[in-house]
């Protein structure tokens, strides 16, 4: 165990024990408004590689993870102040010996790794200013949380809900920590270092059925990107129909350290929901010489065809998705859900091909315990098949995840 982890463990322990100090007669204050949560996450991934392009037979890793969040309340007054703490620790249960490659552990497969950080915050009315560790989720950048530990950025964030129905956010990110890193590092795109990452935008909810979003971002000396979204729902008898329409456009900026960039991405999802059934049709269309633009390691969750294993975001790619979800609450089994999805991509242009194709088939079975000692424990099984006519990603994958949230105070 390295020195950083050795330093992190006592801090994590102190944060947990500090719950005893969070008591005060003042309601909703810095202390009485505090909350502490510990997420226990057990994660197992096994990948089998197939075809002539396979560089090895399989990857397999298993980790036990601890995600601790301590959030203070705010001091009294017109402007309230507070501080949040974050503690992350991942312990290897199995892996190494040539079986790395699942994304659960760093490439050198250490016995453990982690991170400790904090965020200072202030609040006025319905507006909040935060500096420190941030985990944004918006169309410009998503801090991914799909492996052992979440991705974390460091920067300044301002958010406001002063106007009913309108949410605004403006931020600058200065550093980033990947899912398998212990250190904050310079932000990159295609492994090329840039400057600060600025973004801003908002969402206006016109009604429960209609919303509109507009965002813009700039990664210094790398790229500039814009985004617009329209979401609309309709109710026809017992059927709820929806359309989620997204459009990004971007290009290189500043000194263009990553070279000439040009991308336009249209992404859409049409939904139909009846009872416990939800049917989704996704279509995604990229134009230009570049892939969809995002910071290295960031998620693609706002793309309609983003999946567990692939985002279908290569230059000029066209992709089509059909997905079915079922919530067993409607047949008397609350907490049980299943998802089946098939996505196909064509017309891929990259360093491997000028007419590549790929497809993904995914199944996810998910259950959350509703009562008893295991209440809120969620168990997820994912089965994934990925095939490509180019590159080396032809694989069969299984994932098993346990998430158990504990409210400390």
Residue with tokens 């091909």: 353
pLDDT given for residue 54 in this prediction: 84
CB 32 within 8 A of CB 23: yes
Please give the sequence-ordered ranges of beta strands (E in DSSP) within 300-335, or none if there are none: 318-327
Q: Do 150 and 135 touch, CB atoms closer than 8 A?
A: yes
Per-residue model confidence (pLDDT) at position 20: 41
Residue 15 has a pLDDT of 42
User: Within 13 A of 153's CA, how many CA atoms are on the CB side?
Assistant: 26
Residues linked to residue 285 through DSSP beta bridges, in sequence order: 266, 318
Tokens of 187: 């932000």
Tens digits of per-residue pLDDT, 78-124? 999 999 999 999 999 999 888 999 999 998 889 999 999 999 999 99
Residues of the chain with pLDDT under 50: 1-27
Instruction: Give the three-state DSSP class for 282.
Output: strand
Alpha carbons 323 and 346: distance in angstroms, whole number: 18
* Nearest Cα to Cα of residue 323 among 233, 244, 208: 244
According to DSSP, the β-strands at 79-94 and 58-71 are: antiparallel
Check residue 3 and give its pLDDT: 43
CA 338 to chain centre: 20
* DSSP bridge partners of 404: 40
Beta carbons within 8 Å of 11's beta carbon, 6+ residues apart: 87, 116
Q: Cβ-count burial of 78 within 10 angstroms (0-12 exposed, 13-18 middle, 19+ buried)? A: exposed
pTM over 0.75: yes
Q: What is the pLDDT of residues 171-224, one digit of tens each?
A: 999 999 999 999 999 999 999 999 999 999 999 999 999 999 999 999 999 999
Length of the chain: 409
Q: Are strands 166-177 and 152-160 parallel, antiparallel or unpaired?
A: antiparallel
- Distance between CA atoms of 248 and 270, rounded to whole angstroms? 18
Give the pLDDT confidence score for residue 40 in this predicted structure: 99
pLDDT of residue 352: 87
75 vs 78: CA distance, rounded Å: 9
Pairing of strands 166-177, 239-252: unpaired
- 11, containing H or E segment: helix 3-17
Residue 43: how many CB atoms within 10 A of its CB?
A: 24
**What is the rounded CA–CA span in Å between residue 121 and residue 305?**
35
Q: What is the pLDDT of residue 393?
A: 86
pLDDT at 13: 44
Please answer whether residues 74 and 29 qualify as being in contact, where contact means their C-beta atoms are separated by less than 8 angstroms: yes
CA distances from 182 to 2, 105, 108, 178 (A): 11, 11, 13, 8
Q: What is the domain partition of the chain in residue ranges?
A: 1-118
């Amino acid at each position: 165990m390295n020195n950083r982890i050795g330093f992190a463990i006592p801090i994590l322990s102190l944060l947990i024990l500090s719950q005893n100090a969070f008591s005060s007669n003042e309601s909703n204050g810095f202390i009485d408004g505090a909350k502490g949560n510990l997420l226990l996450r057990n994660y197992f991934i096994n990948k089998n590689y197939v075809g002539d392009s396979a560089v090895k037979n399989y990857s397999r890793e298993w980790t036990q993870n601890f995600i601790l969040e301590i959030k203070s309340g705010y001091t009294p007054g017109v402007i309230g102040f507070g501080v949040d703490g974050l503690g992350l620790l991942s312990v290897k249960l199995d892996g190494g010996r040539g079986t790395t490659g699942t994304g659960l552990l760093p490439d050198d497969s250490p016995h453990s790794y982690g991170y400790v950080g904090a965020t200072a915050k202030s609040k006025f009315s319905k507006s909040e200013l935060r500096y420190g560790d941030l985990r944004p989720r918006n169309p410009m950048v998503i801090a991914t949380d799909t492996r052992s530990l979440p991705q974390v950025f460091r920067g300044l964030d301002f958010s406001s809900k002063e106007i009913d129905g309108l949410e605004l956010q403006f931020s600058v990110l200065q550093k980033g920590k990947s899912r398998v890193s212990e250190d904050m590092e310079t932000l990159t795109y295609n492994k090329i270092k840039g400057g600060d990452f600025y973004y801003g935008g908002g969402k206006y909810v016109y009604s429960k059925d209609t919303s509109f979003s507009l965002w813009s971002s700039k990664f210094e000396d790398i790229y500039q990107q814009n985004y617009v979204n329209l979401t609309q729902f309709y109710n026809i008898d017992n059927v709820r129909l929806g359309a989620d329409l997204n459009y990004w456009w971007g290009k290189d900026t500043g000194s263009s350290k990553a070279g000439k960039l040009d991308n336009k991405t249209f992404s859409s999802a049409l939904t139909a929901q009846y009872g416990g059934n939800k049917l989704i049709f996704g279509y995604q269309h990229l134009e230009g010489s570049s892939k969809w633009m995002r910071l290295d390691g960031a998620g693609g969750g706002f793309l309609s065809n983003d999946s567990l294993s692939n985002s279908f975001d290569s230059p000029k790619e066209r992709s089509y998705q059909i997905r079915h979800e079922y919530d067993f609450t409607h047949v008397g089994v609350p907490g049980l859900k299943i998802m089946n999805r098939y996505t196909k991509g064509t017309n891929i242009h990259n360093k491997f091909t000028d007419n590549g194709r790929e497809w993904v088939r995914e199944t996810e079975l998910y259950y959350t315990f509703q009562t008893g000692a295991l209440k809120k424990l969620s168990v997820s099984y994912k089965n994934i098949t990925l095939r490509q006519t180019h590159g080396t990603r032809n694989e069969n994958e299984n994932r098993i995840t346990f998430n158990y949230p504990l409210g400390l105070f």
